[in-house]
Chain A
Amino acid sequence: MNSLKPMRFTAIPRTAILGFTILGLVLAVASTPRAFAQEAPDVGPKPPVVVKPMESHIGNITGHAADAKSDYRRYCAGCHGDYGDANGENAVWLDPKPRDFTIAAFKCRSTLTGTLPTDEDLYKTIGRGLTNSNMPIWNTFTKQQKADLVAYIKIFSPRWEHEKAGTPITVPAEPAVTIDSIAHGKALFTKLECWKCHGTHGEGDGPSASTLTDSKDNPIRPYNFATGGNDSRFKCGNTNQDIYKIFMTGVDGTPMPSFADVIQPNDAWDLVHFLRTLQVHRKSKENEVLSAAHGVIPPYVEKPTSNLAPATVPADNKSPGGGQ
């Protein structure tokens, strides 16, 4: 048994050397720290989304938050975030930013500034989308799906638990469109200094326009009435009633304030008629009346009876905190 031959290294097959080298490399790579990895370090599992049993009521449809969980995840969370805080993965590339549901301040309402919107306001916004933003027109959802999503949005802010939605403002019947109404609207546009942001022709180029920021300090532009063709729309709708509500309730979260306390309802309708004439490319009754007057808006003569008094809103419809 002492005839052990010395080992000859050339006897180790090449495949074995190759195999061991590969194994060595794999072990080396697997054991290096993940600092070079593309992903952020693992901070542990995210807290689960608490789906409170919120409801919505639109017409005779009742929406339930629990039923919208998968729709929200599939269609909404990419921008609005899993926690409704506008931190969806797409949000960094979007301008304007998606709505942050945790604050419960919404642009398009029928209720006064600072109050919660009605379920119907939110329902309509989902279906209508927000023009000039990345919020699509969700006409692919059924009514029930939209109602469930409205209920789901309410889980993100505690305000929905103990605060009632504001009372919708009264939009009185629209008076006739006349050149006098348009002329008065123009006078109001000047007196209320809308032109400071919107510009004298409503093109979003007023003296204060360039410094505007929204409530999260992102730069924001005022609405340019001259944009768009025949179908030029506002973020919060495209009917005369929608325009009325926009400046009476303000666009919360943006520089656009509410004028509810400073415009009388009839004066408000005159302003709506004038604003329509700023949409120069849009076919409207107002633009017809203006062309019939050869495109000239006569100067408005202030009648003694009209003045800037607080608008008539329902008696129990207070702005937050007991305002007037």
Chain B
Amino acid sequence: MRTKQMLPVLLTLLVCASIMCPSLMFAGTVSGKVTYTGTPVKPKQVDMTKEPSCAKEHATTPVLNETVVTGPNNALENVVVYVSSGAPDDGQVPSQAVTYTQKGCQYIPHVLPMHVNQELDIVNADQTSHNIHPLPKSNIEWNKSQPPGTPPIKEKYEKPEFISVKCNIHPWMHGWFVVLNTNHYDVSKGAGEFKLPNLPPGKYTITAWHEDYGTQTADVTITGNETKDVNFTFKAKAY
């Protein structure tokens, strides 16, 4: 075939590719910072004297309640920022598992996002027994004992939900499973920054969730390879 005939074919292929597989061609990023206004409650110190094996791990650095964790310049940590609508690849369950660790009688990480039906591995890295007792309302509730040295507990959740997690033996332990329909999520850390890369061109709704300060949304449109700056500001609660 001659070049003149090839050109429209090539152009058609290119256009088709960019429509069908836009991520091959263009992928933008939404990033920004999560901050707070006002004065958050001073976090209380957690008393672990009832569990000496954990208390001694924190002998030098006191453990603070993790409901509100702040960083420099009014940064708000542990905010789950995710694409709540618009992502074309939602529903793809990753093959790798996420891990939730009980260490020093704390849950690490405090907030764990995961995809619906993604494997969740729960590890006890302490010298004491814990019972892992997530408290879902739409998903199924179960409660399992996990002594030290036992293998990880493998579970998964079928419905999107923000699930409160606790240990009945150690009442100060508290954390969250955030089960989402999307893999486009991040948790704000340190200076409150988050990053959502690999977003093909399109219109998105970005949702930011904090366990105490509530939920906020922002709409953003990606047209190409750009990085869109989206920031969230939460109002601190007095108590």
Contacts and interface: CB of A to CB of B under 8 A. Distances in A.
B141 A114 contact: yes
A257 B153 contact: no
B124 to A, nearest CB: 10
Q: Which of B131, B168, B169 has the most CB of A within 10 A?
A: B168
B128 interface: yes
A212 B144 contact: no
B165 interface: no
B157 interface: yes
Interface in A242-295: 250, 252-262
A108 interface: no
A113 interface: yes
Q: Which of B133, B143, B154 has the most CB of A within 10 A?
A: B143
A196 B171 CA distance: 12
A211 B150 CA distance: 26
Given A208-B50, A208-B170, A262 B150 contact: yes
Q: Which of A196, A207, A253, A321 has the most CB of B within 10 A?
A: A321
Contacts of A257: 131-133, 143-145, 168
A262 B143 CA distance: 13
Contacts of B153: 261, 323-324
B147 interface: yes
Interface in B104-142: 117, 119, 128-129, 131-133, 135, 140-142
B171 A114 contact: no
A191 B141 contact: no
A197 interface: yes
Interface residues of B, number: 30
B133 A255 contact: yes
Contact of A208 (B144, B146, B151, B168): B168
A105 interface: yes
A286 B117 CA distance: 46
A319 B150 CA distance: 17
A255 B155 contact: no
A322 interface: yes
Contact of A212 (B142, B150, B154, B168): B168
B156 interface: yes
A193 B169 contact: yes
Contacts of B129: 192-193, 196
Contacts of B158: 321
A308 interface: yes
A324 B129 CA distance: 19
Contact of A252 (B141, B145, B171): B141
A191 B147 contact: yes
Nearest to A307: B149
A53 interface: no
A197 B133 CA distance: 15
Contact of A321 (B132, B140, B151): B140
B140 A250 contact: no
Contacts of A321: 117, 140, 155-158
B114 to A, nearest CB: 12
Nearest to A324: B154
A197 B150 contact: no
Contacts of B156: 321-322
Interface string A123-160: 00000000000000000000000000000000000010
A308 B149 CA distance: 9
A192 B169 CA distance: 12
Given A192-B147, A255-B133, A261-B150, 15 more contacts: A103-B141, A159-B140, A193-B169, A207-B50, A208-B170, A215-B135, A255-B169, A257-B144, A257-B168, A308-B150, A319-B144, A319-B155, A321-B155, A323-B155, A324-B154
7 contacts: A103-B141, A208-B50, A208-B168, A255-B168, A261-B150, A262-B145, A324-B153
Interface of A: 103, 105, 113-114, 159, 191-193, 196-197, 207-208, 211-213, 215, 250, 252-262, 308, 310, 319-324
List of 7 A-B pairs having minimum Cβ-Cβ separation, nearest first = A114-B142, A255-B168, A257-B131, A211-B171, A321-B156, A193-B129, A257-B145
